[in-house]
Amino acid sequence: MLIAIRPFSLLFIAIGLIWGVLSTDNGLQTVVEWDNGSLMINGERLIIMSGEFHYARLPVPELWLDVFQKFKANGMNAVSIYFFWSYHSASKGVYDFTTPAKDIQRLFDTAKQAGLYVIARPGPYCNAETNGGGFALWTSDGSGGKYRTSDETYRQAWSEWISKVGAIIAKNQITNGGPVILAQVENELQQTRYQANDTLVVYMEQLKTAFKQAGIVVPLTHNEKGFRSKSWSTDYNNVGGAINVYGLDSYPGGMSCTNLDTGFNLPRTYYQWFQDVSPSQPEYLPEFEGGWFQPWGGYFFDQCLAEQSPEFADVFYKGLIGQRATLLNLYMAYGGTNWGHSAAPVVYTSYDYAAPLRETREVRDKFKQYKLLALFTRVSKGLHNTVMESNGTANAVDNTAIWTWVLKNRDTDARFYLTENNNTRTRAVTDFAITVQTSAGAIKIPDMQLRGRQSRWVITDYAVGNETLLYSSAEVLTYGIFDRPVLAFYLKEGQTGQFAFKSANNITFSTHGMHSDFTSASTNSSGHVSFKYMQSKGATVVRFSNGVVAYLLDIPTAYTFFAVPTTDTPSVTADQHIFVLGPYLVRSAGVSGDTITIVGDNALATTIEVYAGTGVDRVIWNGQQLAATKTSYGSLVAQISGAEGRKIDLPALSTFKAADSSPEILAAYDDSNWVLANKNTTLSQVKPLTLPVLFSSDYKYYTGAKIYRGYFSAKSARSLNITVQGGAAAGWNAWLNGQPIGYNPGNATQWSSTALLSFNNATLKDEGNVVSVVTDYTGHDQTSTGPTGAENPRGILGAQLLSVNNTRLSFDYWKIQGNAGREKNIDPVRGPMNEGGLYGERLGWHLPGFDAGTWEDSSPTEDGVHGVGIRWFTTTFDLNIDEDLDVPIGVELGAASGTVARVLLFMNGYQYGKYLPHIGPQTRFPVPPGILNTRGKNTLSIAIWAQTTVGARLSKLRLIEYARYQSGFDFAGIDNKALQPEWKDRSEYA
Ligand SMILES: *[C@@H]1O[C@H](CO)[C@@H](O)[C@H](O)[C@H]1NC(C)=O
Ligand SMILES: *[C@@H]1O[C@H](CO)[C@@H](O)[C@H](O)[C@H]1NC(C)=O
């Protein structure tokens, strides 16, 4: 569609030119507009500070609010969401948007409730390190056509998804009172040719039409893959396919997980890139490094300290805003869990991502550091529409080791100087002076310092209600307009800040709280009183005679500062929040009469200080009225308790029952109900190595382990040449007439393996010899994995029987088995991807309510599995966590080194962990409440697949507590029952 200037805005062009404002809309609505400066929503400029969240990776809808409240509390005003087609569609034409964890109407409602805008990214291709990149797995047999082209077969497949999900997104657009402000078409699709008839251009046009037909009218966006190409911008070689607001993704950290000295070079090319590719649009980073994923055999996220460092947030996120970005989405802000086969082969169970919000839903320091920037952008109106005035080393500063970006507001004198180390990796302490331009002339501010990986804002002509900060080298965290203006500044302890007000010359002050050397001096030529201090530990409060109150916070204290909105709209103005200092988290606050009611979380007993304006005398924290005292400068101070003294009993995991879960390896096993694998043709672009086709997707088995049984009568057979493909780290085992004949342990960097299995040690029968092969699975590929991405087959690619002189012999027939019910999605609540084809899975042994009473007592740690085989262990345990606590809990597994095994962990029916002791790295598996019953009975199953004759057992199996918080969140309100359907007889799937 064409970009149109809003017709009636023509009337305002004259005014617009004077103001430098000429907003654009997409001709379909005028609620969301944009120009080169920023997005405008209902005519208001704002900086979008967004976080990526995948509800499919947290299948407890009540917890979406927990995550969103944490986003909001840490300064975000938007959430960017991928919608995985795979998660909603078990088979062609069938879509589930109603079971609890797939209820995306509830997702939108929850975002709205938390005061977040939504950037909707429905693909159809997402990537996201998710199974098949998000493509419905029923397309993986080749019936999806040529992915990500204008191919008609492919178009027909994705059209049903976009029309269904698009309609729900459309209903939730801001134009209909919902939270959706932007919709992304496709993802990281690189434009390679600027020709209208190019298949990618045609594909983008098809998608845009489909989005529009679904009713999507908000501006469309795209996500350029790094700085690799220049795609789909209306401003750049537009031959069709262009979207409204161009975006660029970027993961520039370049850090190793454990080596703190690699990478950390902040690119300085963002501004110029956007000026080149999308000069009429705001600078949008649809994905910027919130963390990074880790592969099988890689590091575990707890080790990734470089990625988790708050320094990264301080230098990189500020560095983007310094380059004039006004839409910034962190990927991931909360990664979650690749439970139940939601991983692509490139990742393991945890999708923690070293994100600001940990997989356990704990707020990392990186998020707290981000908050200092995000809250600043929220109230700093001058920053919402700037021009790049200057930049460079020694620019406005007296030291060539310092680089500055100088942004000036288009309409006012307000300037924003971002000072950063020229070498962003340095750990040197650098002192310098900066000379800023103000409405009162140039002012030199001495005593600036960057201590290693630190960046600092210096602002000028910064409006704070009716007062103006002429300049400040103390960083502004935020300000609020109460009965008086209240400012919050932050600095590292021992660093010097200096600021001045514009209004009057003879301002006096008094200080409160921690020791402070706060002083004033008449400033040189400007005649303004300047205030100067060295940041002490903790907080100091200064009351000025012009009415302003200022909090001076060191970094750890600033991390506990919350500017809690009193409105549920995503944009929050300076008179729409109250301040709370002290706790770990504040979720919400409301003032009614003389009472402020606060809901939050806290680990350790602490003092809280609340600034809510005059007239508020009573503080209620999580339902308890606190004994609060009023300070002389108008805040309330009280004590809140933590969770440190609370009693939490995590039971030992014992009294397991066990049964064999690999009866299919025996020759006599009855597979008469199994599917005959007899196809001689396939839609796959990958050719089978032998016939019949044994690709599992061709028989509509997609996720998890598959089991094959090949029958032959040729007594002269001496070996089997077999090729199996299950994705990175997947392995397999083979048996002949019940005897192990070979295996592959899997390899973190190998997707498939070939082996020649000798029959020398086996006795063959005249007929009815059976080769049983159990193949593991780590997901379908993303399109970056050739040759055909999600259509790359899984299972057996070829199986050739050979005689002693290598003559090719034939199998009589093959049977295949996989997840119970194939595409039928027999457990719609847990969804189509939760299960694989292990015997125990097919019979539902993982489900609560399954009675293992007749099984033998046997322990996964003491007994384990003897020899090659798969054994199922199950137990129940009770938890009784107090309702007002949030205690993230996980299961920790271990095995002696040398153990070659594949272990699946099921909690109340959900596959919440895949543990490969010989490949690693993950041994700790968090399980969220809702999947775990924190007050009640739990069913835990462990399937151990021992790959070698040595057998396998666990050396460690225990529940672990990650943290504990006293919380006002309604964890008790989680509807566990709805999420955990009980076992039903499944013998038909044996
Ligand atoms: C696409 O357009 C170009 C230029 O107009 C033309 O040379 C080319 O043959 C066209 N290709 C196809 C496949 O139609
Ligand atoms: C620095 O600012 C100038 C003036 O706006 C601009 O032309 C230039 O591209 C900027 N440099 C970078 C690295 O962004």
**Cα three-residue angle 975-977-980, rounded to 5 degrees:** 115
Distance from Cα 197 to the centre of ligand 1, integer Å = 6
* CATH code: domain of residue 293: 3.20.20.80
Q: What percentage of the chain reaches a pLDDT higher than 70?
A: 97
Contact between 499 and 528 (Cβ < 8 Å): no
Residue 988 falls in the annotated catalytic set: no
Q: What is the mean pLDDT of residues 307-316?
A: 97
pLDDT higher than threshold 60 for residue 779: yes
Long-range pairs, 403-412, Cβ under 8 A, ≥24: 403/268, 404/434, 405/322, 405/323, 407/322, 407/324, 407/383, 409/382, 409/383, 409/385, 410/19, 410/20, 410/21, 410/37, 410/385, 410/386, 411/19, 411/20, 411/385, 412/382, 412/461, 412/463
Calpha distance 753→744 (Å, rounded): 7
Answer yes or no: do 299 and 341 share one domain. yes
258 band by pLDDT with thresholds 50, 70 and 90: confident
* pLDDT at position 696: 98
Q: Is the minimum distance from the CB of 388 to ligand 2 under 6 angstroms?
A: yes
Provide residues with CB under 6 Å of ligand 1: 195, 197
Distance from Cα 253 to the centre of ligand 2, integer Å = 22
Q: What is the mean pLDDT of residues 355-368?
A: 98
Answer yes or no: do 726 and 830 share one domain. no
* pLDDT at position 962: 98
Answer yes or no: do 94 and 234 share one domain. yes
Question: Could you list the residue range(s) of the whole structural domain that residue 54 is in?
Answer: 48-363
Calpha distance 961→646 (Å, rounded): 13
Answer yes or no: do 150 and 63 share one domain. yes
Partners of residue 513 on adjacent β-strands: 540
pLDDT higher than threshold 60 for residue 54: yes
Domain boundary among 788, 818, 848: 818
* pLDDT at position 19: 42
**pLDDT single digits (tens) 693-741:** 999 999 999 999 999 999 999 899 999 999 999 999 999 999 999 999 9
* pLDDT at position 515: 72
Assigned domain for 157 exists:
yes
Q: What is the mean pLDDT of residues 456-471?
A: 97
Q: Is the minimum distance from the CB of 391 to ligand 2 under 6 angstroms?
A: yes
Domain boundary among 795, 818, 841: 818
Q: What is the mean pLDDT of residues 204-212?
A: 98
**pLDDT single digits (tens) 537-559:** 999 999 999 999 999 999 999 99
Answer yes or no: do 475 and 594 share one domain. yes
* CATH code: domain of residue 892: 2.60.120.260
pLDDT higher than threshold 90 for residue 4: no
Residue type, 938: N
Closest C-alpha to ligand 2, atom 10: 391
Catalytic residue among 129, 188, 289, 475: 188
Assigned domain for 302 exists:
yes
Q: Which ligand is located closest to the Cα atom of residue 405?
A: 2
Q: What percentage of the chain reaches a pLDDT higher than 90?
A: 94
- What's the domain count of the chain? 4
pLDDT higher than threshold 80 for residue 5: no
**pLDDT single digits (tens) 909-937:** 999 999 999 999 999 999 999 999 999 99
Answer yes or no: do 832 and 797 share one domain. no
pLDDT higher than threshold 50 for residue 689: yes
Q: Which two tokens stand for residue 743?
A: 């295996």
* pLDDT at position 897: 97
Q: Which ligand is located closest to the Cα atom of residue 202?
A: 1
15 band by pLDDT with thresholds 50, 70 and 90: very low
Answer yes or no: do 388 and 503 share one domain. yes
Assigned domain for 861 exists:
yes
Mean pLDDT of the chain: 96
Answer yes or no: do 753 and 839 share one domain. no
* pLDDT at position 23: 80
Distance from Cα 241 to the centre of ligand 1, integer Å = 16
Q: What is the mean pLDDT of residues 258-284?
A: 96
pLDDT higher than threshold 90 for residue 614: no
Answer yes or no: do 302 and 427 share one domain. no
Closest C-alpha to ligand 1, atom 2: 197
Token look-up 């050979």 returns: 802
Calpha distance 310→292 (Å, rounded): 15
Assigned domain for 669 exists:
no
* CATH code: domain of residue 495: 2.102.20.10
Which of 149, 150, 197, when mutated, tests ligand 1's pocket best, judged by the most ligand atoms within 8 Å of its CB? 197
Partners of residue 416 on adjacent β-strands: 407, 459
Assigned domain for 370 exists:
no
Which of 283, 321, 391, when mutated, tests ligand 2's pocket best, judged by the most ligand atoms within 8 Å of its CB? 391
Q: Which two tokens stand for residue 46?
A: 């704002």
Residue 287 falls in the annotated catalytic set: yes
Q: State which ligand 1 atom lies nearest to the alpha carbon of 198.
A: 1
Q: Which ligand is located closest to the Cα atom of residue 197?
A: 1
Answer yes or no: do 188 and 299 share one domain. yes
* pLDDT at position 12: 42
**pLDDT single digits (tens) 159-185:** 999 999 999 999 999 999 999 999 999
Domain boundary among 818, 838, 872: 818
**pLDDT single digits (tens) 852-889:** 999 999 999 999 999 999 999 999 999 999 999 999 99
Partners of residue 925 on adjacent β-strands: 891
SS3 of 191-203: the string is CCCCCCCCHHHHH
Distance from Cα 446 to the centre of ligand 2, integer Å = 26
Answer yes or no: do 443 and 538 share one domain. yes
Assigned domain for 667 exists:
no
Question: Which letter does DSSP use for residue 179 in this model?
Answer: S
Q: Strands across the sheet with 247-250, in order?
A: 220-221, 180-184, 117-121, 78-82, 48-53, 325-334, 283-289, 247-250
Answer yes or no: do 186 and 125 share one domain. yes
Assigned domain for 322 exists:
yes
Which of 195, 200, 202, 239, when mutated, tests ligand 1's pocket best, judged by the most ligand atoms within 8 Å of its CB? 195
Q: State which ligand 1 atom lies nearest to the alpha carbon of 197.
A: 1
**pTM of the complete model:** 0.97
Assigned domain for 216 exists:
yes
**pLDDT single digits (tens) 571-594:** 999 999 999 999 999 999 999 999
Q: Which ligand is located closest to the Cα atom of residue 150?
A: 1
Distance from Cα 198 to the centre of ligand 1, integer Å = 8
Residue 78 phi, psi dihedral angles, 5° rounding: -155, 160
Q: What is the mean pLDDT of residues 16-28?
A: 67
